[in-house]
Amino acid sequence: MSKAHVFGVDIDTRHFIGGNRIASAETYTDLSPIDMSELGQISRGGKQEIDLAVQAAKAAFPAWAALGPEGRGKLLFRLADLIEENVELLANVETLDNGSLLRSHRRGVMPRAAMNIRFFADWAMNQLSHPDFETRGHTNKISWDPSGVAALITPWNAPLMLATWKIGPALAAGDTVVLKPAEWTPLSASLFADLTIEAGIPAGVFNVVFGFGSEAGAALTAHKDIARISFTGSVPTAKIIAHAAADNLTPVSFELGGKSPLLVFEDADLELAAQLAVEQYDNAGQVCLSGTRILVHESVAAPFAEKFKERALKIKQGDPRDEDTDIGPQIHPVHFDRIKGFVNRAKESGASIVMGGSENQELGGLYFKPTLVMNPDPLSEIVTSEVFGPVLCMQTFSTDQEALAMANGTEFGLAAVVVSGNREHAEQITKNLVAGTIWVNCFFVRDLRAPFGGSKKSGIGRDGGTWSFDFYADVKNTVYSPNGWKE
């Protein structure tokens, strides 16, 4: 009951608290989206387990903070090495648990998880500084002090990668951590917990409590001994967490959803535009950054649509473990039905579905076909709400002004993709787009030194480089007078 046998390995399905495995009386079933087989029974934590984990993290905090960036860095570098040594295991387990492509996990996602840990450990040691400055002969010295216990809550679409993006800077900053991973994808967090022991990270510095958002998640975010809440997930959940955080005035960092535009201008390279548009189906559309609203200048709409369809119809859907599969299944029956609901309501309201629009009958299960909705009502939910599945909308515009109004016309502001062959034109457009990240003639080029986050309802705060430490640490200014010294 306390182990899941996955990819030939026994994975502990109990919480990881203070260096020990602790079971809950109740468990829940973890399914593989590939074929809906049961992977294991997972401990279902609540207030009691959260209390224990926060106490363990609080007890471990002073010694961890006292190690300093170098002392912590040595252990975190070892942890990053261990992730790299275990890429094959982590990649296979994650694919079985969340249905994303094995080849992406192997080559991109798991190496990035290691990089998340190594990068922030290195940043704390070598980059985290601000030049001193003088005020009427007094010297201002700025420092980033450990802040306490960080509560980390993560989604299922890139479980370990997104968790380590928080764990890395939190631990490097000297905080201790309680992680509540998404209920649908608990397994990589358990393997990661084992690696923290192997790396020599002291007991209590990193803790994991499994369970549902409304139980374990709610107990964690309401806890009075939490110094930071870092959440990646949906806007509705963020609102609930914001209320919980308000009671204790706990600082929050929110990385939330999106409905990003991909703008194709009349001066664009249409082959490139079609290629970038088709990439928005990656991870079966379960990517917060996806440019799901394709906005095309009317003069190039017909040739663009042709090139797009030519490429999109070649997408191979199938078992995410196969090397030649491009997109796999959706994560869970509940999410699958949600996507289907969006598409069915769009159909009922008269939207034209020119590609896909239903489950993949050949594959069955949770495989939803890549779908294209043409010229939907601009005010309909398929245009304004995040579907988080392989569903793109295509709309046309006739002027830059109209394109910008459409692009900025949702409550989100996470990302945007601009395809234009004219640099001046592209600069004019990017200046007027509201988004945390804009890619011009490219997509998904990421660098941990760059700020990452959402504008409007897509988030609060920025991750990356010093921005991460500005959140996880207590930023302090100490002012030294020129007077009063005895030496």
**Active-site positions?**
255, 288
- Choose, by CB under 6 A, the member of 104, 116, 164, 237 that binds ligand NAD: 237
> Between 174 and 328, whose beta carbon lies closer to ligand NAD?
328
* 58 touching ligand NAD, by CB under 6 A: no
Residue closest to 323 by CA, chosen among 91, 84, 9 = 91
- Judged by CB under 6 A, which stretch of 78-86, 121-129, 255-263, 361-369 contacts ligand NAD? 255-263
* 255 touching ligand NAD, by CB under 6 A: yes
* 44 touching ligand NAD, by CB under 6 A: no
Residue closest to 197 by CA, chosen among 450, 412, 12, 353 = 12
SS3 letters for the chain? Answer: CCEEEECCEEEECCEEECCEEECCCCEEEEECCCCCCEEEEEECCCHHHHHHHHHHHHHHHHHHHHCHHHHHHHHHHHHHHHHHHCHHHHHHHHHHHHCCCHHHHHHHHHHHHHHHHHHHHHHHHHCCCCCCEEECCEEEEEEEEECCEEEEECCCCCHHHHHHHHHHHHHHCCCEEEEECCCCCCHHHHHHHHHHHHCCCCCCCEEECCCCHHHHHHHHHCCCCCCEEEEECCHHHHHHHHHHHHHHCCCEEEECCCCCEEEECCCCCHHHHHHHHHHHHHHHHCCCCCCCEEEEEHHHHHHHHHHHHHHHCCCCECCCCCCCCCECCCCCHHHHHHHHHHHHHHHHCCCEEEECCCECCCCCCCCECCEEEECCCCCCHHHHCCCCCCEEEEEEECCHHHHHHHHCCCCEECEEEEECCCHHHHHHHHHHCCCCEEEECCCCCCCCCCCECCEECCEECCECHHHHHHHHEEEEEEEECCCCCCC
* 156 touching ligand NAD, by CB under 6 A: yes
> Between 236 and 303, whose beta carbon lies closer to ligand NAD?
236
> Between 174 and 329, whose beta carbon lies closer to ligand NAD?
329
- Judged by CB under 6 A, which stretch of 67-75, 99-107, 253-261, 277-285 contacts ligand NAD? 253-261
Residues 118 to 137 in contact with ligand NAD, rule: CB under 6 A: none
* 282 touching ligand NAD, by CB under 6 A: no
> Between 64 and 388, whose beta carbon lies closer to ligand NAD?
388
> Between 353 and 414, whose beta carbon lies closer to ligand NAD?
414
* 218 touching ligand NAD, by CB under 6 A: yes
- Judged by CB under 6 A, which stretch of 1-9, 232-240, 292-300, 321-329 contacts ligand NAD? 232-240
> Between 69 and 257, whose beta carbon lies closer to ligand NAD?
257
- Choose, by CB under 6 A, the member of 454, 461, 464, 465 that binds ligand NAD: 454
Give how many residues touch ligand NAD by CB under 6 A.
31
- Judged by CB under 6 A, which stretch of 133-141, 250-258, 306-314, 345-353 contacts ligand NAD? 250-258
- Choose, by CB under 6 A, the member of 69, 155, 174, 464 that binds ligand NAD: 155
- Judged by CB under 6 A, which stretch of 78-86, 92-100, 132-140, 249-257 contacts ligand NAD? 249-257
* 146 touching ligand NAD, by CB under 6 A: no
CB of 242 to ligand NAD, least distance (A): 10
CB of 468 to ligand NAD, least distance (A): 13
- Choose, by CB under 6 A, the member of 32, 100, 157, 196 that binds ligand NAD: 157
Residues 321 to 380 in contact with ligand NAD, rule: CB under 6 A: none
List of residues contacting ligand NAD (CB under 6 A) = 153-157, 162, 180, 182-183, 212-214, 217-218, 221, 232-234, 237, 240-241, 255-258, 288, 386, 388, 414, 454, 459
